[in-house]
């Protein structure tokens, strides 16, 4: 197939077997710490650059042909190179870390007809995913791991492994860490996992309802303003997505959730009040309100009407909000105890 001595891609072109062998040796050396750190790092980065240039091409060279890429990828799978790179990411130097992410994402996107061989490889080596998730624990690699994780999350098979793992619940911790950029990166991965493949996400949320929403409650009560605001917004999106119908019905039947939202309507931050409104409205608009929910609303009927009438009155431009607000006020005014009650 590939004539090794054919000057297909310039003079310094190596064949895939060789390239992978060299980088593997360099990573092993880095892992063991035999050589001086800097020397070992240099070796790894040099080889990473070679692979990156093979995959993406450079100013002077074209990217490799499909056949050679296939060989290169196959060698990477055979040598478990992806896992090795990810496991040693903290030790690789700054540019090298970025190159790992680029090489990883490029190989991941490979397709053979309707198959994605790298996705299949990672499915079989799910340790890769868990190592990447754990990357959020290490400041120096968190963002690199984030880009790779979100690329993985685009594939349903990989998203499924992550969602159904115990490691997924670590995200509830990562999205709250004090380093803002890491917390936001973790949140976008978290959101991607919960929204990208809608039927999969809905099924996951239904099966793990109690566990997920117990954890989610902590986000909504977080000390961290950004966490509180982002998680509240995401909650609204999740509940109003038709795929999550069952989850929504269950969520809006729980009086504790209603109480939480009513408290959030009164938060200091107007942004949080506004996001809370979009969850609160679902409780009120529900035509089949369970008794505990109805009871709370009835008990607060007058106060709610008064509160909502004065709620965010400056948003006169936002017609949809005003229509919804007017609708809620009307609904609450017209609430009556159920007949069986009287």
Partner 1 sequence: MMEQREFDEDVMPSAIDDDDDVFKDLLNVPADWSANDCLSTGIFNSFDPNEVVYRAQKKPCKTVGKYVMGDLLGEGSYGKVKEVLDSETLVRCAAKILKKKKLKRIPNGEKNVLNEIQLLKTLRHLNVIELVDVIVNEEKEKMYILLEYCVGGLQDMLEHSPGSKFPCWQAHNYFSQLINGLEYLHSRGIIHKDIKPGNLLLTLDETLKISDFGTAEALSPFDPEGICASSQGSPAFQPPEIANGADEYSGFKIDIWSSGVTLYNLVTGEYPFEGDNVYRLFEAIGKCNIQIPGFVTEPLRSLLVGMLKKDPKKRFTLRTIQTHPWFVCRHPRTSEKVPFPPLRGDFMHNMTVLPYLFNYHSCETPSDNEEEYITEQLIKDRPNGSTSVPIDDVNDPSKQPWHKPIVCNVKKMASCRLS
- Site residues (vs partner 1, CB under 8 A): 111, 113-114, 156, 198-199, 240-243, 245, 248, 282, 285-288, 319-320, 323
Q: How far is the CB of 65 from partner 1 (least distance, A)?
A: 13
Please tell me the distance from the alpha carbon of residue 111 to that of residue 147, in angstroms, as a whole number.
Answer: 20
Contact 143, 185 (CB under 8 A): yes
Closest CA to 140 of 105, 188, 104, 88: 88
Q: Which is nearer to partner 1, 99 or 203 (CB)?
A: 203
Contact 68, 2 (CB under 8 A): yes
Q: How far is the CB of 76 from partner 1 (least distance, A)?
A: 20
Q: How far is the CB of 140 from partner 1 (least distance, A)?
A: 33
Contact 332, 304 (CB under 8 A): yes
Q: Which is nearer to partner 1, 120 or 156 (CB)?
A: 156
Please tell me the distance from the alpha carbon of residue 71 to that of residue 77, in angstroms, as a whole number.
Answer: 10
Q: Which is nearer to partner 1, 79 or 195 (CB)?
A: 195
Please tell me the distance from the alpha carbon of residue 48 to that of residue 97, in angstroms, as a whole number.
Answer: 9
Q: How far is the CB of 322 from partner 1 (least distance, A)?
A: 9
Q: Scanning the structure block, which residue is given the tokens 């685009």?
A: 154
Q: Which is nearer to partner 1, 320 or 342 (CB)?
A: 320
Q: How far is the CB of 237 from partner 1 (least distance, A)?
A: 9
Q: How far is the CB of 114 from partner 1 (least distance, A)?
A: 4
Closest CA to 237 of 192, 296, 292: 192
Q: Which is nearer to partner 1, 33 or 290 (CB)?
A: 290
Provide CB contacts within 8 A for 148, sequence distance 6+.
86, 101, 104, 105, 108, 132
Q: Which is nearer to partner 1, 89 or 328 (CB)?
A: 328
DSSP annotation string for 169-193: GGHHHHTT-SSHHHHHHHHHHHHHH
């Amino acid at each position: 197939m590939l004539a090794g001595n054919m000057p297909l891609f310039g003079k310094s072109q190596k064949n895939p077997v060789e390239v992978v062998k060299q980088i593997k040796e360099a990573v092993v050396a880095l892992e063991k710490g035999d050589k001086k750190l800097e020397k070992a790092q240099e070796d790894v980065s040099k080889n990473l650059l070679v692979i990156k240039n093979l995959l993406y091409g450079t100013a002077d060279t074209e990217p490799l042909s499909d056949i050679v890429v296939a060989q290169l990828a196959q060698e990477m799978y055979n040598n478990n190179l992806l896992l090795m790179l990810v496991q040693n990411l903290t030790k690789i130097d700054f540019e090298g870390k970025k190159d790992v992410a680029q090489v990883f994402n490029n190989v991941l996107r490979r397709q053979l007809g309707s198959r994605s061989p790298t996705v299949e490889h990672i499915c079989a080596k799910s340790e890769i995913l868990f190592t990447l998730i754990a990357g959020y624990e290490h400041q120096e690699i968190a963002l690199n791991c984030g880009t790779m994780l979100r690329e993985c999350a685009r594939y349903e098979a990989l998203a499924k492994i992550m969602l159904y793992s115990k490691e997924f619940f670590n995200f509830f911790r990562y999205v709250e860490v004090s380093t803002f950029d890491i917390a936001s990166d973790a949140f976008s991965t978290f959101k991607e996992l919960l929204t990208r493949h809608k039927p999969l996400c809905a099924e996951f949320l239904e099966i793990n309802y109690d566990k997920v929403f117990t954890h989610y409650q902590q986000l909504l009560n977080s000390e961290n303003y950004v966490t509180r605001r982002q998680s509240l917004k995401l909650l609204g999106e999740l509940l109003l997505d038709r795929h999550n119908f069952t989850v929504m019905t269950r969520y809006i039947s729980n009086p504790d959730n209603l109480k939480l939202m009513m408290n959030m309507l009164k938060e200091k931050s107007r942004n949080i009040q506004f996001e809370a409104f979009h969850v609160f409205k679902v409780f009120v608009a529900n035509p089949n309100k369970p008794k505990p929910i109805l009871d709370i609303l009835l008990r607060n009927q007058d106060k709610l009407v008064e509160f909502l009438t004065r709620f965010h009155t400056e948003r006169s431009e936002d017609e949809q909000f005003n229509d919804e607000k007017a609708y809620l006020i009307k609904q609450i005014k017209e609430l009556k105890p159920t007949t069986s009650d009287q």
